[in-house]
Amino acid sequence: MISSPQIPESAPFSSAQRSWLNGFLAGMYSGDGSTSSEPAAPAVPVTIAFGSQTGTAESLSKKAAKLLGGANFDAKVLDMSELSPADLGEIENLLIITSTYGEGEPPDNAAEFHAALMAEDAPNCEGLNFSVLGLGDSSYPDFCQCSKEIDARLEALGASRVSDMVEVDGDPDDLFPTWVEAAQAALGSADAAPVALDLEVEEESGFTKKNPYPAGLLKTVNLNGAGSVKATHHVEISLDGSGIDYEVGDALGVFPENPAVLVDEILEATLIAADEPATVEDGSTVTVREALLYHYDVSILQEAFLVACGRLSKSEELKELLSSSETIKEYCSGRTIVDPILDFGITFPTAEFLVSTLKPLKPRLYSISSSPKAHPGEVHLTVGKVEWESHGRKRLGVCSSYLAEHELERPVKVYMHSNSAFRLPENDAAPVIMIGPGTGIAPFRAYLEEREARGASGKNWLFFGDQHEACDFLYREQLDAWQESGLLTKLDTAFSRDQEEKIYVQNRIIQNAADFFQWLEEGASIYICGDASRMAKDVDSAIHKVIELAGGKSEDEAIAYVSELKKAKRYLRDVY
């Protein structure tokens, strides 16, 4: 018997892939020294469907397909916009990765599938094996709501949940492999190689979320004029020498720092020395002041921290507050961790006890407002500084304040977040309609710079709105210049506070109904950026109304028209 060849350790395969290949070769060379005529175990079919607003779920789906592909799976990645409940009858194994955005809503590309799945006439799903990975942020009240609803509904329709739904709170790196391993174990054949150690082949090189680039801050300037109640900062960051590339439509991840004044107030109130050691998320030890400045989120009061305060306090008021989940939620809303410390006179025995229930300080994503063709080696952001009063205290947005007030000589840790779901048309002759009030203008400044650099012949129409024309007209000089050059074909503005009746971008869309519909008929793509809870919904309603009014269509026909735009990737949103 001739021994089978072995894949060497130096070969460019993961341990699981190498194990599977060695087993395959062993089977081929078994018996009398000739290759075996027995076929290898058939690959297990699996469909991985993603619901993605910013690209994370799509990226994870592709990673899952690669991992499972090395464990004898025939994995197919599917945009959820291409999936309907009726299709589930033809699918044996289904893995779903979806985020939630807005007020517990599905991502745009998952909206139709979600609605059809929840409908009373949704088809029976017996025979379907499934598992769901939900992406979310527990600081929002509707954490992973979309994934929870899909998971429960599939089970109610008769499908078999082969592994428990996993809910990711922020960074998916820890829980994603656990979920993939569980799905592989449940769905794989006995001959399938495990995927537990496969992840090293997927590690990105260069600067990433795990290894951010210490970028130089070149400029931060307030775009709002005198008299404005806002502070919108144009931020320029150097990527020179980093090797980081990006496309317009992408986002930049920024690791913020907590305000030093808030951190010092917390330490003073808790009677903890600033140099006392504290453990951070990677297991290393730093001073507690460094931990609170750079590693833990102190700007949001989590229920777990309030409960920890209750264990240290003799306050009857706090005990009463903690007796009900509703009163806990009510108290936490709009407060930071300093509030219960001051309100109930909480002191902590150690720094470790203080940080033990805090969540890691997460990076923030900002839509990029520059084209790399127009600004080589740089990336620009348009950041609205967030400030508000709550429970008698001034509150600051963590990352927006950090960028607005950052000292130029100190680096900013950044990484690139690709968003393939918000790209310009490949056809430079195609018309583009951009709707972005306030900081929603960010990606459209980048789009216009890109179209200019490409020499794109397609028409460009921008809808922009804010409070006052005199002090809130962001990038006015650049927009005026583009109008004069002809790059910006149409510019419609809505300054809500400049007249008695408030006017918004959705009003301007309806006022221009005939032209808007004509552009759509000519093949225009619609892009929307900004607030998800109100603006994006109002703009969506206005677009449907335009199609009814100018297109002469019924309400149902307008819905179908917009649905086709979405399927053709001609209706795209970057909303938050």
Per the CB < 8 A criterion, the answer to whether 522 and 515 are in contact is no
Per the CB < 8 A criterion, the answer to whether 432 and 458 are in contact is yes
**Among the ranges given (47-51, 150-154, 167-171, 524-528), the one the predictor scored with the smallest mean pLDDT:** 167-171
Q: Which 3 state secondary structure label does DSSP give 1?
A: coil
Q: Is the pLDDT of residue 440 over 70?
A: yes
Q: How confident is the model at residue 71 (pLDDT cuts 50, 70, 90)?
A: confident
Q: Is the pLDDT of residue 150 over 50?
A: yes
Q: Which 3 state secondary structure label does DSSP give 475?
A: coil
Taking residues 520-546, report their average pLDDT. 96
2-28 confidence digits (pLDDT tens): 455 666 665 554 444 455 455 555 555
225-250 confidence digits (pLDDT tens): 999 999 999 999 999 999 999 999 99
**Among the ranges given (27-31, 158-162, 462-466, 563-567), the one the predictor scored with the smallest mean pLDDT:** 27-31
HEC secondary structure over 367-417: EECCCCCCCCCEEEEEEECCEEEECCEEEECHHHHHHHHCCCCCCEEEEEE
Cα Rg of the chain, angstroms: 27
The dihedral of CA 507, 511, 515, 518: what is its sign? positive
Q: Considering the entire predicted model, what is its pTM?
A: 0.87
User: Measured between alpha carbons, how far is 287 from 155 in angstroms, rounded to an integer?
Assistant: 48
Q: How confident is the model at residue 137 (pLDDT cuts 50, 70, 90)?
A: confident
Q: Which of 511, 437, 433, 506 is nearest to 467 (CA)?
A: 437
Per the CB < 8 A criterion, the answer to whether 146 and 99 are in contact is yes
**Among the ranges given (58-62, 109-113, 197-201), the one the predictor scored with the smallest mean pLDDT:** 197-201
Write down all domains in the chain, each with its CATH number in brackets.
41-202 (3.40.50.360), 213-254+363-417 (2.40.30.10), 260-355 (1.20.990.10), 432-575 (3.40.50.80)
